[in-house]
Structure 1
Amino acid sequence: MTLADPFGRKVTGLRIAITSRCNLSCLYCHREGEETGLSGRREISDDEIVNVIWAGVDLGVKRIKLTGGEPLMRADLESILERLPENLEISLTTNGTHLVGRAQSLAEAGLDRVNVSLDSLDPLVYSQITGGTEADHHRVLEGIEAAVEAGLVPVKVNMVVLKENEGEVWDMVNYARDRGVILQLIELLDLQGRGIGGDLSRIEEVLEGRAERIVTRDLHRRRKYFIDGAEVEVVRPIDNTEFCANCSRLRVTSDGKLKPCLLRNDNLVDLNSADREETKRLIERATLLRSPYFCEGRKPYR
């Protein structure tokens, strides 16, 4: 079975925020589009996470992305992974500060790969962007090495391009080449209009001029640049029509709600500790509520 929304977009992935807790305070964090300032919010349970994933697999879901907050704030993550079905692609996005001590156990529990946030190789700039300490920065670097050693590959290093760090892009390209990881340069999703984003368009022009090979991925039409052994992917989350037209994910919030769109909170579907069959019906309902946010008049793409 394949899920598809009214605009013909197939749903093949679930992106699940397994906690809203985080030990950093990054300038660019959009909190997976969740509303902030709400007191007394519960945290999605381990049973609910496992249940919604099994229900999604019944409906044709192939890929799971675990996010937060910082997902490694959950001590039960390995036990959750061990309860998930086989033949799934399971990845995790982390700030990396707790990765060095858990990379191997996560791999053994069933995690396939990780994306690790690293916005600067300079501890001071890192602190300015994330609120983390020099020790945090060192742990992230160690965590990336540990993830590679544990086989959580390909390890992708996420760098949100800001005015503070855009001058480091080529140092980061060299870092990625030397460690055999993929560098993802991410355009800022500037929902508050603060004007802190770097000039990714200019950077991409230089990438295009230096690349020996360029590949365009199906997912959101992302471009990958291969430069002297380095692999660099440019992620443009606000590339409106293409981003929406190729969206294949349904989100799950950290308090247990299905979220059809990153930028909307008016059409959430509460899982409410439903059993597996009811959860499947709720997923189908949420899929029917999916509508491209960046779409004039909400016109179908097909």
Structure 2
Amino acid sequence: MLIDNFGRTIDYVRVSVTDRCDLRCSYCIPKGFKGFEEPKNWLTFDEIERVVAAFARLGTHHFRLTGGEPLLRRNLPQLVQRLSDLPNVQDLSLTTNATQLARHAKALREAGLNRLNVSLDSLRKECVEQITGSDNLEQVLKGLSSAKEAGFNKIKINMVPLAGVNQSDIEQMVQFCIEHDFVLRLIEVMPMGVTGQSNQYVNLQGIIDDLQQKFALIESDVVLGNGPARYWQTDNGGFSLGLITPMSQHFCATCNRVRLSVDGTLYMCLGQDNSFSLRPLLRDQCSDQELEEAIRYAMTLKPEAHNFLEQPKKIMRIMSMTGG
């Protein structure tokens, strides 16, 4: 087991396969941004497999592929197959904006991908275009349909409410998820980079009261995946709503994850700069023991908590640079 200095078990790694994306969401990648990592610095599939295998040997069993947009990485189903075949990898999931999902859903499912999270912030075409910078709603909806046909169940829809932009669309999204048997998760925007810092987060604590009354939701202790969401459900359990509240009610005391960026940097916290680069070791053909020792050391760098509220301008790296 990997235990950090504050007694938290690290049993979840988010693995970025690219920092690039085909969208420019207003809370993520700035328009005109060109500071992406050079492909020569991306971890290869062999290197990613080595890192995931090392974490699995050390007791971490849950992994999520992220980006940027992970489906922009060529031959991603091949990587999914390789990782899903590793001993002790019990759960392999992926977060996507779904613009490319219709072409890849079947292959991903057949390769062993267990679960899907899809980022979708509105069902209004003009609002989606405002947030993402392009007209892609039809592509996303086709991707979701293809994923259901491929056999993915309880797909999670990740929605970031933005004040004055899509906050009024939440009820419509709830209805949509009830109709299609999706799990809806509302996420407070974090002040990462100039984009995250330019958006005022919507405090979700007030929103849940209205949703509870309108959709007869009751608080639940259900666990859906490995993330920090707190869930509410309809009384028959047919629909689940999750809230992820890093700003209004942070969950640092139970944080169980680290992030591996596309260039091999382990980031210990979204709201701090603590990190450790594995790429030099991998490129020097380190032994498995050396890699495991480096991972154990990196866990000692994990901070106790973020300080987004106290220092909202501190983290200037954008979300796609960190890795989902």
The TM-score, its normalising length taken from structure 2, stands at 0.82
Residue 267 of structure 1 is matched in structure 2 by 275
Cα distance 1:183–1:90, how it changes in 2: closer, same or farther (>3 A)? same
Residue 219 of structure 2 is matched in structure 1 by 214
Cα distance, 1:40 vs structure 2: 4.1
Q: Are residues 1:73 and 2:72 paired?
A: yes
Partner Cα distance (2:176, 2:110) in 1: 27
Residue 238 of structure 1 is matched in structure 2 by 247
CA contact (8 A) 1:271 1:279 kept: no
Residue 314 of structure 2 is matched in structure 1 by none
Partner Cα distance (1:293, 1:152) in 2: 34
Q: Are residues 1:256 and 2:264 paired?
A: yes
Q: Are residues 1:127 and 2:139 paired?
A: no
CA contact (8 A) 2:27 2:198 kept: no
Cα distance 1:270–1:239, how it changes in 2: closer, same or farther (>3 A)? farther
Cα distance 1:199–1:4, how it changes in 2: closer, same or farther (>3 A)? closer
Cα distance 1:40–1:195, how it changes in 2: closer, same or farther (>3 A)? closer
Residue 185 of structure 2 is matched in structure 1 by 184
Residue 154 of structure 1 is matched in structure 2 by 154
Residue 103 of structure 1 is matched in structure 2 by 105
Partner Cα distance (2:94, 2:228) in 1: 21
The TM-score, its normalising length taken from structure 1, stands at 0.88
Cα distance, 1:104 vs structure 2: 0.6
Q: 1:200 aligns with which of 197, 204, 208?
A: 204
CA contact (8 A) 2:101 2:146 kept: yes
| Greater mean deviation of Cα atoms: 197-206 or 119-128 | 197-206
Cα distance, 1:81 vs structure 2: 1.4
The size of the alignment, in residue pairs, is: 289
Q: Which amino acid is the alignment partner of residue 3 of structure 2?
A: A
Cα distance, 1:275 vs structure 2: 4.1
Partner Cα distance (1:259, 1:30) in 2: 18
Residue 115 of structure 2 is matched in structure 1 by 113
Partner Cα distance (2:304, 2:182) in 1: 32
CA contact (8 A) 1:19 1:44 kept: no
Partner Cα distance (1:30, 1:223) in 2: 27
Partner Cα distance (2:150, 2:228) in 1: 30
Cα distance, 1:44 vs structure 2: 1.7
Cα distance 1:25–1:262, how it changes in 2: closer, same or farther (>3 A)? same
Q: Deviations over 1:22-69 (max 9, x none)?
A: 1000111279xxxx8466472221111111110000000110011000
Cα distance 1:248–1:43, how it changes in 2: closer, same or farther (>3 A)? same
Q: 1:290 aligns with which of 302, 307, 323?
A: 302
- State the identity %: 34
CA contact (8 A) 1:187 1:235 kept: yes
CA RMSD of aligned residues (A): 2.4
Residue 171 of structure 2 is matched in structure 1 by 170
Q: Deviations over 1:113-169 (max 9, x none)?
A: 110011110111001001122xx2101011111112212222001110112101111
